[in-house]
Structure 1
Amino acid sequence: MSRQKSPPKPIDERLPEIRTTLERAAGMLVCLDFDGTLAPIVEDPDAAAPTQPNREAVAALARTAGVTTAVVSGRALADVRERIDGPTVYAGNHGLELARGGSIAVHPVARKRADRIQRVCSVIETVLESVPNCRVENKRLTGTVHVRTVSKSAEPIVRRVTRDIVDRFGGDDLEISSGKRILEIGPNVPWGKGNAVELIAADEPPRTAVVYVGDDVTDESAFRAVEPDGIGIRVGGDEPSSASCRVESPAEVESALSWFASTGAKLIAHPAPTGAARAEPTRPAGR
């Protein structure tokens, strides 16, 4: 059963539960969102890059025995693969594209509706051309309308026009979801990041502990997929979430990943005896 939404606790307060989860595990799968998690949110999406500490932390995790790493992003698969090296698995377009085991799988319905996504993105871009700083990103299988740099007065217009065009040209085949000052346009299929995480986890050995780190509304399905047996970590404030714990920013993500690569991996390899005292030499969020 998935964990009900409630304010996630700071990760330091969840260390005993995290330790218990890892001590019971035979391996670890760490799945990571990109924007707002490994990379700070920036006004220009093309300028997004993981922080150097996060880049190094992901590389360290990828080298750790018993640990599999994956990036699960709303960006197109080719885009996110260029931005971060090291993970074994990549999922793009909210899981509609999945690169694993040397092959790439694309959701069949998303593939069929790609032309419609491109047409809708083109129409929106034309209609909103006069709105300063409004950007429409065509990711082939999905599209994103960015309103982060749009004026407050123009934002309702952008949202209304986008919805009207998707309704007119997409019908029941396309849907809109909201994120952090973005509108996501995608195929109307029951598929998201959580489904991708479940597919990735199915390739892992039994008793693998699954960790998911993300910051946005689209990450909630992944939190639901891993909780309560795994570990969901929300990046940001204490708004209700299906994640059980949180860190405040991408800067704190590095501390958490470093903890999983060192202390966490050792707990899997050498679980502490029941009732034994447990030292806390390193804390994941550096608080």
Structure 2
Amino acid sequence: MSETRPRPIDEHLPRLRRELDLVSELLVCLDFDGTLAPIVDDPDEASLTPATEAAVESLASATNVSTAIVSGRRLADVRSRVDAVSTCAGNHGLELVRDGSRLVHPVARERTELVERTCRALETAVDPIAGCRVENKRLTGTVHVRSVPSAARPVVRRLAHDVVDRIGGGDLESSTGKRVIEFAPAISWGKGDAVSLLESVHPEGTFVVYVGDDVTDESAFRAVEPDGLGVRVGDDRPSAASCRVRSPSAVASLLGWLATVGDGLVGESGDRSTREIASKTE
């Protein structure tokens, strides 16, 4: 799917109303950092604002809506930050919990020791660089550079890619996101696959919305577009998402709309058809 500049969400609301009026269920998948929670210097301090927390709780309790979190954080980490949602995917979709069952990608499970060795080597390599932190997420790893002086960030990126290539030996791959360098098993699996997996256990024709802000969210946008709706958080740079909102605070407003107006639209056509058939047979 080609990338274009996403348009403001307001321009898509008429189409979204029409789509929701024709389906029986809505699945809303949400990234965490930069989407539900504002980006902060210390990732451990990231949290939902009261407005966003209320919107997520409202959406999670809506009658015709299923809600899921799809994050780059460890599964246990993201679940501890969003109480209202029970379906979560962590480590960019490599681990997932749904209906009380936890699934882990088998290749990722096999490479946890390799991730551990890479994290240790990276900690040694970047130790002299102020503000740099290596996070071992067991199935994947992240080098945080948000607090690193801007002049030193290219050095960190080069070191990180070199260490991952040297130790991973083709079994790990690295990528660059918003002020992070991430590395993971070199397998064809990401957030888009997790979203597709979640969609597959819902009724055929379920309308899927995915909201995210970073490079790793692009595979999820591609998974839902054009039949569903990808919503990019941020500016209008080219994306596989067809629309955008400006910030996490705007995400809260969107979720509130989906929980009230959207939930009211979903299933209405089916209900009307049932009532019409019943009236004709009375």
Question: The TM-score by the shorter chain falls in which range?
Answer: over 0.9
Greater mean alpha carbon deviation, residues 76-85 or residues 11-20? 11-20
Residue 284 (structure 1) aligns with: none
Does residue 218 (structure 1) correspond to residue 222 (structure 2)? The answer is: no
Q: Distance in 2 between matches of 1:81 and 1:38?
A: 13
Residue 97 (structure 1) aligns with: 95
Q: Deviations over 1:76-120 (max 9, x none)?
A: 000000001111310000000010121100000000001100110
1:153 alignment partner, SS class: helix
Residue 85 (structure 2) aligns with: 87
Q: Distance in 1 between matches of 2:181 and 2:6?
A: 25
Q: Distance in 2 between matches of 1:159 and 1:231?
A: 33
Give the alignment's TM-score, normalised by structure 2: 0.94
1:192-231 to 2 correspondences below 5 Å: 192-231=190-229
Q: Distance in 1 between matches of 2:201 and 2:51?
A: 29
Q: Distance in 1 between matches of 2:106 and 2:188?
A: 12
C-alpha displacement of 1:269: 3.0
Q: Distance in 2 between matches of 1:134 and 1:237?
A: 27
Q: 1:267 aligns with which of 257, 265, 268?
A: 265
Q: 1:70 aligns with which of 65, 68, 71?
A: 68
Asked whether the equivalents of residues 58 and 256 of structure 2 are also in contact (C-alpha less than 8 Å), the reply is yes
Q: 1:168 aligns with which of 159, 166, 169?
A: 166
C-alpha displacement of 1:138: 0.5
Which structure 1 residue ranges, 4+ long, deviate > 6 Å from structure 2? none
Q: Deviations over 1:138-186 (max 9, x none)?
A: 0000000011111122111111111111111101100001110110110
Give the alignment's TM-score, normalised by structure 1: 0.92
Q: Deviations over 1:166-217 (max 9, x none)?
A: 1111011000011101101100000000000000111111221101000000
Q: Distance in 1 between matches of 2:253 and 2:42?
A: 26
Q: Deviations over 1:31-56 (max 9, x none)?
A: 00000000000000000001111111
C-alpha displacement of 1:128: 1.0
| Amino acid aligned to 2:182 | E
| Amino acid aligned to 1:241 | S
Question: Across the two proteins, how many residue pairs are aligned to each other?
Answer: 270
Residue 274 (structure 2) aligns with: none
Asked whether the equivalents of residues 230 and 243 of structure 2 are also in contact (C-alpha less than 8 Å), the reply is yes
Q: Distance in 2 between matches of 1:114 and 1:50?
A: 30
| Amino acid aligned to 1:208 | T
Asked whether the equivalents of residues 134 and 146 of structure 1 are also in contact (C-alpha less than 8 Å), the reply is yes
| Amino acid aligned to 2:248 | P
Does residue 117 (structure 1) correspond to residue 136 (structure 2)? The answer is: no
C-alpha displacement of 1:66: 1.2
Q: Distance in 1 between matches of 2:126 and 2:6?
A: 38
Asked whether the equivalents of residues 72 and 91 of structure 1 are also in contact (C-alpha less than 8 Å), the reply is yes
Where structure 2 has 5 or more consecutive residues not aligned to the other structure, the ranges are 271-282
Structure with the larger helix share? 2
Asked whether the equivalents of residues 8 and 243 of structure 1 are also in contact (C-alpha less than 8 Å), the reply is yes
C-alpha displacement of 1:65: 0.5
Q: Distance in 1 between matches of 2:250 and 2:156?
A: 34
Q: Distance in 2 between matches of 1:101 and 1:119?
A: 33
C-alpha displacement of 1:271: 4.3
Q: Deviations over 1:251-273 (max 9, x none)?
A: 0001000000011111113249x
Q: Distance in 1 between matches of 2:52 and 2:267?
A: 24
Residue 148 (structure 1) aligns with: 146
Q: Distance in 1 between matches of 2:252 and 2:151?
A: 37
Does residue 16 (structure 1) correspond to residue 14 (structure 2)? The answer is: yes
| Amino acid aligned to 1:165 | V
Asked whether the equivalents of residues 194 and 225 of structure 1 are also in contact (C-alpha less than 8 Å), the reply is yes
Q: Distance in 1 between matches of 2:104 and 2:188?
A: 14
Q: Distance in 2 between matches of 1:19 and 1:158?
A: 46
Q: Distance in 1 between matches of 2:27 and 2:86?
A: 10
Where structure 1 has 5 or more consecutive residues not aligned to the other structure, the ranges are 273-287
